[in-house]
Amino acid sequence: MKRYALTLFALLGSALLPAAAQKPLYIVNGRETEEIASIPPEDIERVETLPADEETIARYGLRASNGVLLVTLRYDSPAVFPSDSTFGRYIARRVEWPDDEPAARVVLRYKITPEGRTVVDQELEVTDKRLRRRVLKALGEAPLWQPARKNGVPVESEGVLRIQLPEGKRIPRQAELVFR
């Protein structure tokens, strides 16, 4: 009996595994997309899952045979930084940090105002106050963003800035004092 149960479990498991590995149809702000992993969680306003039933398949077609994940973002179009690189790379290039200095990191949560200004919302990590000062100076001198839009109106959005300089160098571990 035990062998029969294990065989049945193995057959059912192998039959269900390919179906479980299939991904749902992703619809972001009304548009079909291939993946949603790159969407920052703070940009998501609402997520709704639709089962793979007759109604869903009738509405979305056979692509919805594994269900549908409807994602509504806080905006229709994201904020765009006017540079040939990412915002983080742009700021890192403007911060002077010699290679002979120890590695340091600054992680900031920022907001992009409807006017396109970058405003620091929260300091998440600062390993060196000198780097923090230089990053904040570069942020203050950065060009304005094209703000995110919702229904054609500029809206506030947010992001996380991670700067570690010099690039490729490891952050030194802080000394810990252990009493035994």
pLDDT at 16 over 50: no
48-65 confidence digits (pLDDT tens) = 999 999 999 999 999 999
Place of tokens 């690189």: 85
pLDDT at 117 over 50: yes
| Per-residue confidence band for 5, with pLDDT thresholds at 50, 70 and 90 | very low
Stretch 29-51: mean pLDDT? 90
b/e map 6-41, b = 16+ CB within 10 Å: eeeeeeeeeeeeeeeeeebbbbbeeeeeeeeeeeee
pLDDT of residue 37: 87
Distance CA 56, CA 54 (A): 6
Quick check: helix, strand or coil at residue 77? strand
CB 32 within 8 A of CB 70: no
Other residues' Cβ atoms within 10 Å of the Cβ of residue 56: 18
What are the structural domains of the chain? 21-73 (no CATH), 87-165 (3.30.2420)
CB 72 within 8 A of CB 123: no
CA distances from 97 to 11, 24, 80, 87, 100 (A): 60, 46, 27, 18, 8
How many Cα atoms within 13 Å fall on the side-chain side of residue 143? 12
Stretch 105-120: mean pLDDT? 97
Tell which wins on pLDDT, 134 or 17. Answer: 134
Distance CA 93, CA 6 (A): 60
Terminal CA-CA length for the chain = 56
